[in-house]
Amino acid sequence: MDLGDGIMIYVKTGGGSIIDSVGYIDESVTGSLISGRKIGEIAVAGRLYTEIHTLFMMARNENRRVLNWYNLGYSGGGRFNAVGGNFGNFGFDVPLDERNTRYPLFDTIAGLPSLCFDGNNFLKSGYAAETDITGGESLSIEMWVYDENPTAGEVIMGWQSEDGTSASAPLAWPAGIAGNDRWRHLVVSCGIVTETWYLDGEVVSSVPREMRIDPGHRIVLGGTSENTASFDGCLLTLRVHRDSITPAQVVHNYRGGGMLGTTLKFNYDPLMTPSDDKAYFTWSDADPGAAFMVVSEHFDQRVSLDWINTWLAADKDAFYARVPDMLELAEACYENYGSFHALRLPVVSIHPKYRGDGIKYRIKIGTTDGANFMGWHDQLGFGYGMQFPGYFNPHELVHGTQAQTGSGMQGNYWEAHANWPQTYMGMYQTVPSFLEMRDQNLFEASGRSYYHARLMFQHLAESPEYGPLFISKMWFDGANTAYPWITFKEIDPDPLTPLGYEFGRMVQKNVTWDYTIHRPLNPDDYYDPDLYRNNVRDNYEVAVVQGYVLLDSISGETGWLRPPKAKIPQQTGWNIVPLEPEGSEVSAELSGYRNEERGSSWYGGFVSVNNDGISRYSDIFRDGESLSFTLNSDEPDLYFIVAAIPGNIMAVDMTGDVKSDAQEPFPYKVRFTGVQQRDMFREYYAKKFENISGHIHANGGGFVDNRAIVSATAYVGPGAYVIGTSQVLDSARLEDFAVVENSTVEDHAIVSGHGNVTGNSSVSAYARVRDFARVSNSSGLTEYGKVAEHASLESGNGNTNSGYTTMKGIAIKYDGDASGTAMIDHHFAKGQDITRGKWFSWSWGSGRNPGEEDQDFNGLYMSMSFEEDHPFMAWDDHGINWGYLVNGASLVTDPAYGGVLS
């Protein structure tokens, strides 16, 4: 409804319904710093340096202790941003064991949400007073306070230096005024000469100016300083005005009550020009008759009626029916993100020039033709979500809060994090366990799984030393688009457990996926408490190949083992090594191949699992150390974990050169006692095929399903399986522990090692599948094509690798043909046709990244010029086929020959 001058005001809705407009806004109060419209409710003296209200972004822990409270005023920000300051420092202003005594309590007092102090707790701001309110400059302090029995010397708030060693401008309950059991409006208006105190709109004193804030001091709620807490009462709101407030303004704000200024307004861009663009209808309220608008307490969605009228009648009905659920979900996200995760919600701008007018805005639910993405109004500084009308995507609103909170993480982590806060409402938009297990040795948040890479966030959130608010602290205090684990090291509140220790603990959880799975908001919705475990079980045939590491023995180093090259962890990568205990006492000694420039370091540990599937963790130990572990009698399963966390953490470009310093491999060595390695691949297939009727093949002694066809001339070795309707024909060979299931291997093709051909796939001519490689999903491998190491050819649609193609590492090819002399290696994951060149990394569908080349190298596989000096690698200039330097070999320069090994 148009109320004149384009002003449209909407009332709060309980659960999200379509509502009508009511009333006009008081034209006498503050205008919007964004639009200039007189839509404010609070009378503001100048601007609000600080405004906090218990309704907005007050994050608390499970014990209702308030650990973070965002400033809605114009001042403050994180270490690298000016998005608006905060109180409480996300719970890290005191040690962990003091959080539930030193931080104040969230409660409901006289029907209003309240921040309550007991005389021993405090809440400190993270930003210093602006110079225009320090010393003798004018300012006003306004609050709604509840104190039934104020005592002499009881200070409600003060200002202190950053370290708390000096204090200024304490504000105590007015002398001679008794307390009572209701909320009181207290104002101190400081002019150049005089300070005037008001209580409930009436002057109670006017004295020469005494209250002066020292430069650099910051607000402390609850006492004169953090070390002298004394306030025993509650706060509802605090406003610090940049100027002295007038008596009329005081009366206005008193009569408005404690909830004045809490009704959110329509956010309007005054520079929007009319168009058919959906953003125009989102951000303009001109011509209200042309738009359909729905509103809840904190959100609105505005959709062009012309667009709606192009829809089929059934689609219109479906849209209208979706609206209440859309708004209900949006409101649930608002509460979860702001009150539990301390994400800064887009109710005020991130730009200081638009903050401080006391106005808060409803959050946009932007609209698209069907795509989902983050909406961002750069000029005004508001983030929000974009989706089809009538839907609400929690992921996209998280993106909006990320920008509002400070943009303190690298781009790929925006996606990893955007699938995490909503899990606390039982909404799992991605399930991380299988993909993270498959890609475990890669740098975290690689392109292959970055939408799923939240396990470290979840581990830290579920660790009391950190908690969920620490993740938001990284957004708030990290440099713009910073690599999060660099930020972690800079702000770690518990340096006794460094980053590597925490990664080790996280990997221990990944053995049996010991993470909390939250229940959905609707108790009638399906709940799977074993969601992560079942995600791995549902994909176990791949997980058993890619998710567990069978270590290699090291020639000349008795007892020492190391990972195969394809599974060597990069920075933040990890391995899970299954073990078979020989008794109750086991031990491990951890070492590795060091690059001092990167500060190579590894963190390891054991995980035992009992007969009920319950895990138990050893201590975490580092390279250069040994660890012993005693198994209980009911713990038949044992695993060793290791994480590579170098001392020199580097930002890793998701599509960067795999041979860059940031993507260096970190090969470790381990020596066990009391265990043997456990071959999960052989164990899995032996169990899977144990009840299949079959026979022993005469040529080789391997197992052949009675449904399969195997030529007498084909070789099936004693550890190999031919299962289902497979055909092994001509002179084909299955060696070692090869498995062929419902597929064909023919001609002179060879499948060896733990190679696996499955899913109606074919391997023919002189092709080779070896190591832990897998050909699946109706893929073809022919001519002289090779798939080796832990690579997976799963192109489907009859796509084929042919010619002299080589595919290895942990590469995945999920679409397209490969031919010629193409070399596909490392963590390649693309779906394009390839005829030549070298390809090493992930692209979204198709692409070519740094270090990849699309040219014919005439079959060149490896080239070593010895011009690259490295502490443990003999460098491959062409590909990734480096070798270990052994027996003291080192790189020297010979004038006649260039680089040589000595």
- What's the pLDDT band for 898 if we cut at 50, 70, 90? low
How confident is the model at residue 889, as a pLDDT?
85
Task: Answer whether residue 900 shows pLDDT above 90.
Answer: no
What one-letter code names the amino acid at 7? I
The C-alpha atoms of residue 82 and residue 128 are separated, in whole angstroms, by 12
Lowest-pLDDT choice from 176-185, 554-563, 777-786, 846-855: 176-185
Lowest-pLDDT choice from 2-6, 232-236, 308-312: 2-6
pLDDT tens digits for range 604-623: 999 999 999 999 999 999 99
How confident is the model at residue 24, as a pLDDT?
37
Residue 654 and residue 447 in contact, taking contact as beta carbons nearer than 8 Å: yes
Q: Which residue has the tokens 């080192």?
A: 890
For the segment 187-209, the average pLDDT, to the nearest whole number, is: 97
> Which class for 306: exposed (0-12), middle (13-18), buried (19 or more C-beta within 10 A)?
exposed
For the segment 220-236, the average pLDDT, to the nearest whole number, is: 98
- What's the pLDDT band for 272 if we cut at 50, 70, 90? confident
For the segment 153-172, the average pLDDT, to the nearest whole number, is: 96
> Which class for 688: exposed (0-12), middle (13-18), buried (19 or more C-beta within 10 A)?
middle
- Higher confidence at residue 289 or residue 637? 637
Residue 415 and residue 457 in contact, taking contact as beta carbons nearer than 8 Å: no
pLDDT tens digits for range 529-538: 999 999 999 9
How confident is the model at residue 274, as a pLDDT?
82
By 3-state DSSP, what share of the chain in percent is helix, strand and coil, each rounded to 5? 20, 25, 55
Task: Answer whether residue 901 shows pLDDT above 70.
Answer: no
**Residue-by-residue DSSP string for 693-754:** -EEE-TTT--EEETTSEE-TTSEE-TT-EEETT-EE-TT-EE-TT-EEESSEE-TT-EE-TT
DSSP assignment, residue 544?
Answer: H
How confident is the model at residue 413, as a pLDDT?
98
The C-alpha atoms of residue 568 and residue 667 are separated, in whole angstroms, by 5
The CA angle 533-534-537, to the nearest 5 degrees, is 95
How confident is the model at residue 13, as a pLDDT?
31
Q: Which token pair is 847?
A: 């692409």
The candidate with the shortest Cα–Cα distance to 108, out of 184, 54, 51, is 54
How confident is the model at residue 868, as a pLDDT?
86
The C-alpha atoms of residue 275 and residue 635 are separated, in whole angstroms, by 68
How confident is the model at residue 28, as a pLDDT?
58
Cβ neighbours around 111 below 10 Å, total: 8
DSSP assignment, residue 595?
Answer: -
Domains and CATH numbers, the chain: 1-40+263-407 (no CATH), 48-256 (2.60.120.200), 434-678 (2.60.120.510), 692-839 (2.160.10.10), 862-902 (no CATH)
The candidate with the shortest Cα–Cα distance to 583, out of 653, 640, 631, 522, is 631
How confident is the model at residue 420, as a pLDDT?
98
The C-alpha atoms of residue 869 and residue 867 are separated, in whole angstroms, by 6
What one-letter code names the amino acid at 464? P
The C-alpha atoms of residue 78 and residue 804 are separated, in whole angstroms, by 55
Mean pLDDT over each residue of the chain, to the nearest integer = 94
- What's the pLDDT band for 22 if we cut at 50, 70, 90? very low
The candidate with the shortest Cα–Cα distance to 360, out of 4, 53, 16, 113, is 53
Q: Which residue has the tokens 């010397």?
A: 153
**Residue-by-residue DSSP string for 71-127:** --SS----TT--S--EESGGGTSS-GGGHHHHS-EEEEETTEEEEE--SS--EEBSS
The C-alpha atoms of residue 897 and residue 725 are separated, in whole angstroms, by 58
CA distances from 753 to 56, 130, 545, 667 (A): 60, 69, 12, 22
- Higher confidence at residue 16 or residue 803? 803
Residue 814 and residue 795 in contact, taking contact as beta carbons nearer than 8 Å: yes
For the segment 582-587, the average pLDDT, to the nearest whole number, is: 98
The candidate with the shortest Cα–Cα distance to 162, out of 132, 133, 131, 124, is 124
How confident is the model at residue 341, as a pLDDT?
99
Task: Answer whether residue 23 shows pLDDT above 50.
Answer: no
**Entry field: residues in the chain:** 902
Task: Answer whether residue 11 shows pLDDT above 50.
Answer: no
Helix (H, G, I), strand (E, B) or coil at 444: coil
What's the whole-model pTM score?
Answer: 0.95
For the segment 79-86, the average pLDDT, to the nearest whole number, is: 96
Bin 815: left if φ > 0, else alpha if -120 < ψ < 50, else beta.
beta
Q: Give the orientation angle of helix 394-405 with respect to helix 468-477, to 10 degrees.
A: 50
The candidate with the shortest Cα–Cα distance to 115, out of 144, 137, 94, is 144
pLDDT tens digits for range 687-715: 999 999 999 999 999 999 999 999 999 99
Task: Answer whether residue 8 shows pLDDT above 80.
Answer: no
Query: Percent of the chain, pLDDT > 90?
Result: 90
Helix (H, G, I), strand (E, B) or coil at 902: coil
The candidate with the shortest Cα–Cα distance to 66, out of 298, 332, 340, 333, is 340
pLDDT tens digits for range 376-400: 999 999 999 999 999 999 999 999 9
pLDDT tens digits for range 737-763: 999 999 999 999 999 999 999 999 999
